[in-house]
Amino acid sequence: MEKYKVGIVGATGMVGQRFITLIAEHPWFELAVLAASARSAGKTYEEAVAGRWAMEAPLPEKAKSIVVMDAVADAEKIAGIVDFIFCAVDMKKDEIRALEEKYAKLECPVVSNNSANRWTPDVPMVVPELNPEHLAVIEAQKKRLGTKRGFIAVKSNCSIQNYVPALHPMRDFGIEKILVCTYQAISGAGKTFARWPEMVDNVIPYIGGEEEKSEQEPLKIWGTVQNGEIVKATEPAITAQCIRVPVTNGHMSATFVSFKKKPTEEDFISRWAAFKGRAQELALPSAPKQFLHYFTENDRPQTKSERELEHGMAVSIGRLRPDTQYDYKFVALSHNTLRGAAGGAVLLAELLCAEGYITKK
Ligand SMILES: NC(=O)c1ccc[n+]([C@@H]2O[C@H](COP(=O)([O-])OP(=O)(O)OC[C@H]3O[C@@H](n4cnc5c(N)ncnc54)[C@H](OP(=O)(O)O)[C@@H]3O)[C@@H](O)[C@H]2O)c1
C-alpha cells in the first residue's frame, strides 16, 4: 500500500522525537517532512538533535539526513508535500492556535499534541477507544474554516490518559465524584535528568496548568456532539493534584471515586478485562490488543516494569480496593510520551485515516 506522507512539526522536541521513532517503523505512514523553529531549520535532522536525542532507541537512519524545515516560514511548502501533519511545538498558545489553523486552511489536516485548540468547541479531542464519535464535529469545523480537507483534531493531556480510560467502562454506574493525584514523569516537561538536574532525588508539587487540565479535559472527552460542537459533560465533579516525580517516563495516578449506584469490585475487574474500543474493533496498527490491564499483585503496576506494556499504548491498573470516604480507590499508569503524547496522536491519525477523515492527496 502507498503510505500517507507525514510531516512532523516540532520534530526536534521530546514528543517530536517520539513521533520520529514511531513513524520510521509505521506500516501506513512515512516521514516526508520534519519541521521545527528557525533555530533548527536548514540543518540535517541529525545535526538539529545533536546532544539532545532523548529516546532509548537510536536515531532512525531514515531521519538522519532529512533537512529540517521552518514550521512557520515554510508552512505553504510543507502543506503542499504532506498528506497531514503531527504538531507538537513549544510556543505561546495564541501562536500555536494560529499555526494549526494556518495548516488546516492550507488544506492540511493537523493532528495535534498541543493544548491550544483543546477547548475550541468544534475541534474534537479524542482518545480513540473512548470517544471516536466526536470526530463527527469535523464537518462543522471545516465549514467554519472554509476548507475541503483541512481540519484540526487533538489528543487530550497526558495526565488524564490512565484514570479516565480506567473509569470510562464504569460510567453507567453514574460516576459522582473523582479525586485524583497524579505523579508525572519529567519527559512530560520535555526534559531529561541531564537537562533538569534539580529533579534528581526531588519531587516538585506543581506542574503549571496541569490540575485544571486534569479536572476539565475528562468532561470534554465525556461530552456530547450537539449542533456541530462538543458540549462538555456537567458531571462527575473532579478534583486533582499533579506532582512532578523523578521518573524518566510514565505517569501514575492515584484515584478515589464514588458512584450513584455503587458497583462491586468484580464489576470493575470484569469490565476492565472486557473493554474494547473503536481502535481495537478496527485493529488499528498502534492499538493495544488489550487496552486496560488489571494487576492483582499489591505492588503493581510499577513504572519501570509496566510503562512499556503493549508498546507503551496500554493502561495498567492495580490496587483496586474499597475506601473509607469514597466508594473505591485504585492506581493506574500509562506511558506519557507514548499513549500520552506521540503514540496517542499516531493512534488518532490511524483512526482518522480508517474513518476517511484523512485521505491521500
Ligand atoms: N512531553 C510530553 O509528554 C507531552 C505530552 C503531551 C503534550 N505535550 C505538548 O506537546 C508540545 C511539545 O512538547 P515537547 O515536550 O515535545 O516540547 P520540547 O521538547 O520543548 O520541543 C518543542 C518543539 O517545538 C519547536 N519550536 C519551538 N519554538 C518554535 C517556533 N517558534 N516555531 C516552530 N517550532 C518551534 C522546537 O524546535 P527547536 O528544536 O528548533 O527549538 C521543538 O521541536 C507542547 O505543546 C506540550 O505541551 C507534551
C-alpha 360 – ligand 1 centre gap (Å) = 26
Residues 212 and 144 placed together within one structural domain of the fold: no
Tens-place pLDDT, residues 55-89: 989 999 999 999 999 999 999 999 999 999 999 99
Task: Tell me if 195 CB under 6 Å of ligand 1.
Answer: no
Q: Cα 302 from chain centroid?
A: 21
CATH number of the domain within which 310 lies: 3.30.360.10
Residue 82 located in a structural domain = yes
Tens-place pLDDT, residues 239-292: 999 999 999 999 999 999 999 999 999 999 999 999 999 999 999 999 999 999
Task: Tell me if 150 CB under 6 Å of ligand 1.
Answer: no
- Give the closest residue (by CA) to ligand 1 atom 39: 12
Residues 207 and 312 placed together within one structural domain of the fold: yes
C-alpha 9 – ligand 1 centre gap (Å) = 9
Burial 183-202 (b: 16+ CB within 10 A, else e): bbbbbbbbbbeeebeebeee
Tens-place pLDDT, residues 230-240: 999 999 999 99
> d(Cα 329, Cα 296) in Å, to the nearest integer?
14
Catalytic residue among 26, 134, 168, 251: 251
Q: Would you state the pLDDT for residue 351?
A: 98
> d(Cα 356, Cα 61) in Å, to the nearest integer?
31
Q: Which residue has the cell 506500516?
A: 27
Residues 6+ apart with CB under 8 A from 161: 127, 251, 315, 334, 336, 339, 340, 344
**pTM for the predicted model, two decimal places:** 0.97
Residues 6+ apart with CB under 8 A from 334: 158, 161, 162, 165, 250, 251, 307, 314, 315, 316, 340
C-alpha 13 – ligand 1 centre gap (Å) = 5
In this prediction, residues 183-194 reach a mean pLDDT of: 95
Residue 361 located in a structural domain = no
Residues 213 and 299 placed together within one structural domain of the fold: yes
> d(Cα 351, Cα 348) in Å, to the nearest integer?
5
Task: Tell me if 341 CB under 6 Å of ligand 1.
Answer: yes
Residues 226 and 314 placed together within one structural domain of the fold: yes
Q: Would you state the pLDDT for residue 295?
A: 98
Task: Tell me if 312 CB under 6 Å of ligand 1.
Answer: no
> d(Cα 355, Cα 352) in Å, to the nearest integer?
5
Q: Would you state the pLDDT for residue 65?
A: 97
Residue 306 located in a structural domain = yes
Does the structure show a pLDDT above 90 at 19? yes
Does the structure show a pLDDT above 90 at 192? yes
Return the axis-axis angle of helices 14-24 and 343-354, rounded to nearest 10°.
50
Residues 206 and 313 placed together within one structural domain of the fold: yes
134 catalytic per annotation: no
For residues 27 and 285, the answer to whether their CB atoms sit within 8 Å is yes
Tens-place pLDDT, residues 293-303: 999 999 999 99
Residue 190 located in a structural domain = yes
168 catalytic per annotation: no
Residue 359 located in a structural domain = no
C-alpha 123 – ligand 1 centre gap (Å) = 20
Task: Tell me if 219 CB under 6 Å of ligand 1.
Answer: no
Task: Tell me if 188 CB under 6 Å of ligand 1.
Answer: yes
Q: Is 202 left (phi over 0), alpha (psi -120 to 50) or beta?
A: beta
Cis peptide before 132 (omega within 30 of 0): no
In this prediction, residues 220-232 reach a mean pLDDT of: 97
CATH number of the domain within which 50 lies: 3.40.50.720
- Give the closest residue (by CA) to ligand 1 atom 1: 188
Residue 360 located in a structural domain = no
Kindly list the distances between the CA atom of residue 306 and the CA atoms of 126, 201, 343, in Å, as whole numbers in the listed order: 24, 22, 16
For residues 310 and 288, the answer to whether their CB atoms sit within 8 Å is yes
Residues 148 and 247 placed together within one structural domain of the fold: no
Does the structure show a pLDDT above 90 at 206? yes
Cis peptide before 322 (omega within 30 of 0): no
For residues 345 and 7, the answer to whether their CB atoms sit within 8 Å is no
Residue 193 located in a structural domain = yes
Residues 174 and 142 placed together within one structural domain of the fold: no
Domain that holds residue 253: 160-335
Residue 286 located in a structural domain = yes
C-alpha 234 – ligand 1 centre gap (Å) = 32
Residues 247 and 327 placed together within one structural domain of the fold: yes
Residues 272 and 312 placed together within one structural domain of the fold: yes
Residues 40 and 139 placed together within one structural domain of the fold: yes
For residues 55 and 17, the answer to whether their CB atoms sit within 8 Å is yes
Q: Name the residue among 294, 251, 268, 287 with its Cα closest to residue 162.
A: 251
Specify the ligand 1 atom closest to the Cα of 11: 43
Q: Structural domain tally of the chain?
A: 2
% of the chain residues with pLDDT over 90: 99
Q: Would you state the pLDDT for residue 1?
A: 81
Task: Tell me if 344 CB under 6 Å of ligand 1.
Answer: no
Residues 166 and 148 placed together within one structural domain of the fold: no
- Give the closest residue (by CA) to ligand 1 atom 15: 190
Q: Would you state the pLDDT for residue 253?
A: 98
C-alpha 240 – ligand 1 centre gap (Å) = 25
Residues 175 and 285 placed together within one structural domain of the fold: yes
